[in-house]
Each structure stands twice: as C-alpha cells, then as structure tokens.
Amino acid sequence: MILKKYLADRILNALNQINLQGIEVAVDRTQNPEFGHYTSSVSFNLSKVLKKSPYEIAKGIVEKLDDPLGLIDRIEIKGGFINFFLKETAFHLVIREIIKERANYGRSNEGQGEKVQIEFVSANPSGPLHVGNGRGGALGDVLASIFEWFGYAVEREFYVNDVGTQMNLLALSVEARMKELLGMPFEFPEEGYHGEYIKDIARLAIENFGDNIWNLPQEERLERIKEFAKDTILEWQRKDLEDFGIRFDCWYKESTLHKKNLLKEAFDILKANGYTYEKDGAVWFASTRFGDEKDRVLIKSDGSSTYFLADIAYHLDKYRRGFSRIIDIWGADHYGYVARMKAGVEALGYDPNTLELIIYQIVHLFRGGSAVRMSKRAGEMVTLRELLDEVGKDAARYFFVMRDPNSQLDFDIDLAKTQSANNPVYYVQYAFARCCSLFRQAEARGIEIERMFDCDLSYLRDPLEIELMITLEDFPDILKNAFYNRAPHRLTFYLESLAKSFHSFYNSLRILQEDEPIMYARMALVFATQQVIKNGLDIIGVSAPERM
C-alpha cells in the first residue's frame, strides 16, 4: 500500500496544481507487465468534468508529477491510462516497511478505539452446534479480528436464548429419555428433540440427580432437568467453540433481559414514541412505518411477549452498553428478520445505520463427492464437533471463511482432510514452514541471520523477487478491502497468491549461498514473506506451523 499511496499522492499533488481538489484517485496493480507496475485511470473520470480527452488530462497530470523519493523509473500514457514503471528501490521500501512493522504490518488505527460489538453464533441451547454455526462462527471471529486490526475495540458476544417453549421442550425430551433408560413408561413429547444427544444428556442427568428426582413434583423436576440440560449443552457449545479457536467476551442470556425488566422498558419506549397499537387482542409494533413488510406482534393475545420484543430489548441493552456500531451475523434463514430488527432500533431512537446485519448463506457438506444429507427435524445434523474431530481447526476455519458470505458454501470434507497440495490450507502453511526451515538451515550453517535486517536490498531485482515484493505491498490494501466489504474470504485468496509467489521464487532462486550480499537480501525477502503470511493466518485464526 505504501507504493500505491505514494503514487496516488503524487497524482493528487499534480491535480492540486491545476486546481483540482477532493478527487478520488485510485492506483491499482496491473495485470500486464506491458502496462507497468501500477496504473491509474483517473483521467477517464475527470474527462467529463474537464471536457478534455483522457489522454490530454493524463498528459497534464504527468507533466506536473513530482517524485520526491525518486521511485519512478518512467511513466507511460496509454489510451489515457497513466502507467507507472518503478525502480527496484521502490520495492525495497516495502521490505523495509515490513521489517520495521513486523506483526503490525497491515494494521491501522482508523477505528480509534471505537467500541464495536459483533454478535454471532448465538445458537439455541437446545442442542450441539452444527456446521452452519461453524460458518457463522468463523465469519464473525475473523471479522472481529479484522476490526481489531483497524483499531476498533471489539467485543465478541454470544446471545443465549434460554427462555421459552423450546427450553421446556428440551426438558420434556430429556425427561422422557431418562424414563426410557430407566425402564419406566414414557411418552415422547410431540415436538420434542429427537437427536441422540438427548439420550446422552439423559444419561448424565440420571447420574447427576439419582433416584430422588422422581420424588419431586413434576414441575420442579422439569425445572431442574431444564437447568441441567441447558448448562450441559452450553458447556458443550463453549468447549466446541474454544476448540474452534473462538472465545467470546460475553455470553448474554435472554433471561437477563427479563430479570432487568428490559422488555417492558423497550416496550414503553416504543409505546411512548407512538409506534404501538392494539388489534385482535394483541399489541403490535408498526414496523411498516420503517419499511418493514408488515407490522409485528410484540405482546400476544395471551399476554406473553414475543421473541421479537426480547430482541428489541436486547438491542436496547446493546446500545446502552455504549457500542457505536453493532453487528449481528445471522444465517440466511433469518433474513426475514432484518427489516424488523432495523425498524426496532430506529423506533427506539437509534440510527439504524449503526446496526449492521450480515447474512451468510447455508453450508452443504460433501463427502466422497456427494452431499451429506442432514435433517434438522430428525436431529441428524453433522455437528461442528464431528467436523472438528475429522478435519481439524485450521482446515475448518479456513474453509468456512474461504467463500463470500453471500454464496452458498460447499464444504468438501475429503479435501479439507488431505494433507496435500490440493488443500489450500496446507499450501499456505507450507510456505510459512518453508521460510522457518530456511532460517533453521541458515542457523545450522552458522550464518549471521541478523545481518539481513540492514543489508543492501538492491540485489533484489529478479522478476520473481519483484513480483513477490509487489504482492507483499498489497497486503494492507487487501485487508482494507476485506474490512470495508466485510469480506474475509479475500484474505484467503490473497494468502494463496502470496504463497504461490513465494514458492515460485523459492523454487528457482537460490537463497543460502556463497554470494553474501545476494543471500542476505533474499533472506530479508523471505523474512518479510514469513511475517506477512503469519499476520494473515493470525487474522483468520489458522496456525502457522514452523515445521510440516
């Protein structure tokens, strides 16, 4: 980014001299070496305003262009594009920058410590996490890291729906399985949870409670079973997420909202603002006034509140906790709630633009080339735990963030498991391990590794070296791109291209050798590469193994 920024600044400077301010200048990498290292198409954008041809404008800009650091070798104007050919010394600045910044290369403080909350996963405590939760988890966690890299104070939060009929159903389901295991007559609840894990909980519950539980009145017994089942499942989820590399700053329980009387408070605000009305014995929220398709019920005719009201209360609480930006990450099946949620916060009096809803599409698992069938109803979901046990944390995280959240994800379990070139995770990790191995080798040979930090980089001039340096230069830009577009997958694509660049370089140019000036310069390049791969993998939450 330092080079692109430098060139953009040069153009801005030149535009200033012809009295043009506030223009957005983009400088990009080129696809074709014929067009130089970097290019800008500003002249096309200015052509309308200035009523001159792009070529004339480009010429005007180039005439006024300065080069205080002396990085530009030559400039060509082709069809209005301004093509920059840089001297090799320009790219050496990138290496210097990385050596200076190290683990901070790519960071920015533009968030200035602003408080941001990202809420994700938030699975119901009615069963183990499934693979869909894995995608939401990886996406949320990586986005959170990216926000941190941009200087935001990020809180990761998990919302626990520990209230409502589903919890009662859970208790009834477990109780039934307990009776079954004990050989007692039992009746399985109509809409109960059928998964095998219910039997596991039942087994644990029998162990935990002993025979005494059956002496309690049913209501109390179910209450105890409910608490036990919920805690057991939450513990499973917490453990799964930890093994998945995710640690939440806060597990926020819905029951807390009730204890703090926040549902009533939120309701009163909506009412006071005139957005509620009664109809058919229920109380409604006029969300259509904020663009929702239809109005929504807040309080049902039986007097109980809806899940939606709890959600409004929850968001009220989020704002009160001082977050200036709130991000909810939801699966595609929750898309229908986006409009009403936005309407909710707006009706509470907050700027709906500070609430961001990120929707990710569903995950399909593939094994042996065919889709793995899953049925939520029958409780036949592939759990996150099973996936983790099978493919490991690194592959799982990488694969989940590998795709645009807007696209459905085909997760190829076989591919994630292969320890070969086909697996992009290994490909990237291997590049890192190679760097490490090289420094081990250097150490074994008694090479004074430290000398690379202030060596003469002018020996880096091979096209493969230049290409690698240009790729390294790109990292902060890619990160910015991933940040602004909430698109972590751009990072995985970048890392693969960086690894590719490195492997090509490594394969055809000798690093450790007799010629010391060349050796140290190349070692510095390897060091920079190693650092950037590490930074990228850190953000994704994938390990960078020193040996493979």
372 is a contact residue toward RNA (CB under 7 A): no
Q: What is the DSSP letter of 305?
A: B
253 is a contact residue toward RNA (CB under 7 A): no
What is the number of other CB atoms lying within 10 angstroms of the CB of residue 64? Answer: 14
Nearest approach, Cβ of residue 69 and RNA (Å): 22
CA–CA dist 379, 537 (Å, integer) = 34
CA–CA dist 263, 35 (Å, integer) = 61
User: φ, ψ for residue 366 (rounded to 5)?
Assistant: -125, 135
Nearer to RNA, 236 or 506 (CB): 506
- Beta strand pairing status for 363-367 and 115-119? unpaired
The one-letter amino acid code at 69 reads L
Nearest approach, Cβ of residue 169 and RNA (Å): 9
CA–CA dist 365, 308 (Å, integer) = 31
CA distances from 121 to 133, 136, 139, 247, 384 (A): 6, 6, 10, 12, 12
DSSP string, 98-127: HHHHGGGTT---TTTT-EEEEE-----TTS
SS (H, E, C) 492-515: HHHHHHHHHHHHHHHHHCCCCCCC
What's the CA angle centered on 359, arms 308 and 489, to 5 degrees? 155
What's the CA angle centered on 279, arms 274 and 283, to 5 degrees? 55
Stretch binding RNA (CB under 7 A), from 85-93, 176-184, 226-234, 334-342: 334-342
> Applying CB under 7 A, which of residues 14, 39, 285, 313 lies at the interface with RNA?
39
> Applying CB under 7 A, which of residues 51, 190, 507, 514 lies at the interface with RNA?
507
For the chain, the maximum distance between any two Cα atoms, rounded to a whole number of angstroms, is: 93
> Applying CB under 7 A, which of residues 424, 476, 488, 541 lies at the interface with RNA?
424
543 is a contact residue toward RNA (CB under 7 A): no
Between 464 and 483, how does the x/- string for binding to RNA read (CB under 7 A)? -------------x---x--
Site for RNA in 270-299 (CB under 7 A): 279-282, 293-294, 296-297
Nearer to RNA, 256 or 437 (CB): 437
Nearest approach, Cβ of residue 302 and RNA (Å): 6
Nearer to RNA, 23 or 182 (CB): 23
CA distances from 544 to 101, 524, 540 (A): 19, 19, 11
Site for RNA in 126-155 (CB under 7 A): none
Q: Tell me the sheet residues that pair with 119.
A: 157, 328
Nearer to RNA, 59 or 490 (CB): 490
> Applying CB under 7 A, which of residues 430, 459, 520, 527 lies at the interface with RNA?
430
234 is a contact residue toward RNA (CB under 7 A): no
Strand order in the sheet with 38-40: 27-29, 38-40, 81-86, 72-78
Nearest approach, Cβ of residue 319 and RNA (Å): 21
> Applying CB under 7 A, which of residues 511, 537, 539, 540 lies at the interface with RNA?
511
Nearer to RNA, 77 or 206 (CB): 77
Site for RNA in 62-91 (CB under 7 A): 78-81, 83
Contact 325, 154 (CB under 8 A): no
> Applying CB under 7 A, which of residues 9, 35, 59, 189 lies at the interface with RNA?
35
56 is a contact residue toward RNA (CB under 7 A): no
334 is a contact residue toward RNA (CB under 7 A): yes
Nearer to RNA, 62 or 181 (CB): 62
Nearer to RNA, 134 or 155 (CB): 134
Coil, helix or strand at residue 359: strand
320 is a contact residue toward RNA (CB under 7 A): no
Nearer to RNA, 45 or 213 (CB): 45
Stretch binding RNA (CB under 7 A), from 12-20, 41-49, 62-70, 527-535: 41-49
Site for RNA in 435-464 (CB under 7 A): 436-438, 441
Contact 252, 262 (CB under 8 A): no
CA–CA dist 469, 481 (Å, integer) = 19
Between 153 and 192, how does the x/- string for binding to RNA read (CB under 7 A)? --------x-xxxx--------------------------
34 is a contact residue toward RNA (CB under 7 A): yes
> Applying CB under 7 A, which of residues 94, 487, 498, 542 lies at the interface with RNA?
487
Matching residue, tokens 């929702």? 292
Nearest approach, Cβ of residue 474 and RNA (Å): 9
What is the number of other CB atoms lying within 10 angstroms of the CB of residue 236? Answer: 20
Stretch binding RNA (CB under 7 A), from 38-46, 97-105, 172-180, 267-275: 38-46
Site for RNA in 384-423 (CB under 7 A): 403-404, 406-410, 419-422
Matching residue, tokens 């990072």? 491
Nearer to RNA, 28 or 454 (CB): 28
> CB-based burial of residue 206 (10 Å sphere; 0-12 exposed, 13-18 middle, 19+ buried)?
middle
The one-letter amino acid code at 181 reads L
Structure tokens at 1: 């980014």
**Helix count (H) and strand count (E) of the chain?**
18, 15
Nearer to RNA, 201 or 442 (CB): 442
51 is a contact residue toward RNA (CB under 7 A): no
306 is a contact residue toward RNA (CB under 7 A): yes
| Residues near RNA (CB under 7 A), total | 95
Q: Is the dihedral of CA 506, 510, 516, 517 positive or negative?
A: negative
Nearer to RNA, 422 or 458 (CB): 422
Nearer to RNA, 186 or 427 (CB): 427
Nearest approach, Cβ of residue 53 and RNA (Å): 9
What is the number of other CB atoms lying within 10 angstroms of the CB of residue 166? Answer: 17
